[in-house]
Amino acid sequence: MPKWIDYKRMAKERGALALELYIVNTVPAGPDADVPGTLPDHLAYQAKMEQQGKLAFAGPVSDFSGEDLNGEGMIIYRAASLEEARSFAEEDPMHKSGVRTFTIRRWLINEGSFTLSVGLSGQRVELA
């Protein structure tokens, strides 16, 4: 099995995008975790990270049935390294206060697409 860096190089050589991002899976630290009490600080941190271009996407994740929330979330960072992305996650007020715990992994985006629609006169933006 190739090392990450070797696979990334091979992906680039074959013409894939090979955009490396970082996925943070975040979960409440326990049933008594004060997630709501930390939410305002967490959202302010997320907004700051987004403004700095470091936050690609973030939001809750459903349970495996797809019908319910179970408190899990996902954050996708743009960072220069896994270590930098880890520091972003560690500084999130949810993690820093111990209300939530996280795991982090590298994600190499090779394929896919999205559509961005901007309506200037109606000040409308849609991402699909």
All structural domains of the chain with their residue ranges? 4-127
Q: Which residues contact 39 (CB under 8 A, 6 or more apart)?
A: none
pLDDT digits (tens, 9 = 90+) for 45-80: 999 999 999 999 999 999 999 999 988 999 999 999
The DSSP output letter for 81 is S
Per-residue pLDDT at 98 exceeds 90? yes
Mean pLDDT for the stretch of residues 73-95: 98
CATH topology of domain 4-127: Alpha-Beta Plaits (3.30.70)
How far apart CA 77 and CA 21 sit, in angstroms, is 6
How far apart CA 19 and CA 43 sit, in angstroms, is 26
DSSP 3-state of 21: strand
How far apart CA 34 and CA 10 sit, in angstroms, is 45
The DSSP output letter for 31 is T
